[in-house]
């Protein structure tokens, strides 16, 4: 089968790194990078680190508002897909690149394969929610990562072509987890970043979603990170360039106990999560990784599409939104200052991840051709 695969962001590169070797073993793959994450810090260095092939087509379409960016992607993708004449266009996740790839393919009458189908936060204010809903309703193959995702699709009347394949990102995390278990890896990272990092001796944070770049939200989560940090247990914030620009524009200054670093590579990010006392994030990908690694995770959102990771006190993640009181309470319970070093050391020593084989299942389903009853 000939497939055009469309990516554009760091999380999509991670998923592609898990799928691409199997896809290229079994099929002809034309790899397209829209450039939605368009700088080296955000995406460029992922190609070398993850062993991804360089894109067959790099569109360089970054920046701009949602409509502008998606429109420029559509204009660029349509002739490319028409000329390639693939049997399917494969898209990942919930970004503008996903929406543009799915729309361009559907308009040309080419079947769409959607990896991470069926996820729902049930919050239509989120651009990602709109993207994933549209992609699902256009898709012929819907590769769901969880049973809850399958149930979401069924509730929307989508049953044909739905396959629970498991989570591609877990496949990749399992492949490299042995490389980040050793605390020596953390010491090396700390030396490179100029930070005295020790297991359980810091908190790790990422913030990038559109709703958390509004001025009031920026001030709220900056104060929350300041509350969470202490001189002996700082917050290490891997700061997205868009979030950095929003902080500057809003005149919001981060507390001195928040150590700002550039977005990190895949293995470094996993290591920083694994050895942290806890993670604070609004990223769905980081939320899942923290769950697999067994790290307490405070989700800086009111809702999440990854419902499996949240719940009672024994769950890995908890939704705190931008509530400073809730964050203080959950950190005190889930990551007490005194016990965190021992907990982190024990967690890393016992880490053993097994991937679900999602890549193989996706490739087999594509090899079988369009599912019966495909729209």
**Distances in Å between the alpha carbon of 332 and those of 114, 135, 190, 325, 337?**
40, 40, 25, 11, 8
Look-up of token digits 């999560």 = 273
CA-CA-CA-CA torsion sign (185, 238, 206, 65):
negative
Give me the residues paired with residue 4 across strands. Answer: 30, 89
DSSP 124-182: TTSHHHHHHHHHHHH-SEEEESSHHHHHHHHHTT--TTEEE---HHHHHHHHHGGGT-S
Q: What is the four-CA torsion angle of 248, 249, 250, 252, rounded to 10 degrees? A: 10
For Cα atoms 289, 287, 139, give the angle at the middle one, nearest 5 degrees. 90
Question: Which residue do the tokens 């990749």 mark?
Answer: 172
- What H or E segment, with its residue span, contains residue 13? helix 10-26
Indicate which residue of 27, 37, 114, 208 is catalytic: 208
> Which H/E stretch holds residue 26?
helix 10-26
Q: Is there a catalytic annotation at residue 137?
A: no
7, β-bridge pairs: 33
Nearest alpha carbon to residue 42 among 21, 17, 14: 14
Task: Report residue 335 as tokens.
Answer: 């990551």
Map residue 76 onto helix, strand or coil: helix
Hey, which residues are catalytic here? Answer: 208
């Amino acid at each position: 089968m000939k497939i055009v695969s469309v990516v554009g962001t760091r999380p999509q590169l991670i998923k592609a790194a898990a799928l691409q070797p199997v896809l290229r073993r079994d099929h002809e793959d034309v790899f397209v990078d829209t450039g939605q994450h368009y700088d080296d810090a955000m995406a460029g260095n992922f190609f070398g680190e993850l062993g991804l092939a360089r894109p067959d087509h790099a569109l360089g379409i970054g920046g701009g508002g949602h409509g502008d960016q998606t429109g420029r992607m559509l204009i660029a993708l349509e002739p490319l897909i028409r000329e390639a004449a693939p049997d399917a266009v494969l898209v990942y996740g919930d970004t503008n690149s996903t929406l543009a790839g799915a729309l361009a393919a559907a308009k040309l009458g080419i079947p769409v394969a959607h990896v991470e189908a069926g996820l729902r936060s049930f919050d239509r204010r989120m651009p990602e929610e709109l993207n994933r809903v549209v992609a699902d309703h256009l898709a012929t193959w819907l590769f769901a990562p969880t049973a809850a995702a399958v149930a979401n699709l069924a509730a929307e009347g989508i049953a044909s072509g739905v396959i629970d394949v498991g989570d591609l990102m877990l496949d990749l995390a399992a492949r490299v987890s042995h490389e980040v278990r050793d605390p020596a890896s953390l010491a090396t990272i700390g030396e490179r970043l100029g930070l005295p990092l020790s297991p359980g001796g810091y908190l790790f944070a990422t913030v990038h979603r559109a709703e958390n770049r509004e001025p009031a939200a920026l001030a709220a989560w900056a104060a929350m990170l300041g509350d969470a940090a202490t001189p002996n247990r700082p917050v290490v914030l891997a700061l997205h360039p868009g979030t950095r620009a929003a902080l500057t524009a809003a005149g919001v200054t981060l507390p001195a106990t928040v150590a700002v670093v550039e977005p990190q590579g895949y293995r470094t990010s996993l290591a920083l999560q694994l050895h942290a006392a806890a993670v604070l994030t609004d990223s769905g990908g980081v939320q899942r990784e923290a769950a697999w690694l067994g790290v307490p995770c405070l989700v800086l959102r009111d809702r999440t599409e990854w419902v499996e990771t949240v719940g009672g006190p024994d769950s890995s993640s908890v939704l705190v939104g931008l509530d400073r009181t809730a964050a203080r309470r959950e950190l005190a319970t889930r990551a007490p200052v005194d016990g965190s070093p021992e907990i982190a050391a024990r967690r890393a020593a016992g880490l053993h991840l097994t991937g679900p084989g999602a890549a193989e299942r996706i490739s087999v389903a594509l090899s079988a051709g369009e599912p019966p009853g495909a729209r």
